[in-house]
Amino acid sequence: MKTALLIIDVQQGLCEGEHAAFESQQVINRINQVAAKARAAGAVVIFIQHESTSGYLEFASDDWQLADGLHVEPTDLRLRKTTVDSFHRTELEQTLKRHGVTDLVVCGMHTEFCVDTTVRRALALGYPVVLVADAHTSEGNAHLSATQVIQHHNATLTNISSFGHRVRAASTEALHFGA
């Protein structure tokens, strides 16, 4: 079993300002803990960055950069995407195959968009997924608080059974990499 950690959209523009995701800094701290565990176990660490062609999250803009406080090592991989699905029109699936990855651990931003869509696509492609239950976040919306969005997705994603493989939720503390 070879695992990859997908760190989705933990970017400056999603962590600061008026539309900052809920508890961004605490989530970044937990992601750093998860990434350290992944690296120690020899897992592939992939930072995925959303981008637009102009305006908010425009490639190479300050908002597009990985968030302040996020620890990145030279051996970590980086991937750019333009949709909520980290697999759609990207090299993610080929990268996972090239590294012999069979299992995924997922964390990041925003829960109800890019995290949700990427987890569902990973299941459809046959990857078992561990969702780091306390290391994904959202801004929330007019109907649900960020906490409600996070709790809803922890419950919903772990109850999907139609793909065969299931999503398992684990806290940062309880998460272990390796066979």
Active site residues: 114
Q: What is the DSSP string of the chain?
A: --EEEEEE--BHHHHSSTTPPTTHHHHHHHHHHHHHHHHHTT-EEEEEEE-BSSSTTBTTSTTTSBPTT----TT-EEEEESSS-TTTTSSHHHHHHHTT--EEEEEEE-IIIIIHHHHHHHHHTT--EEEEEEEEE----SSS-HHHHHHHHHHHHTT--TTSS-EEEE-TTT-----
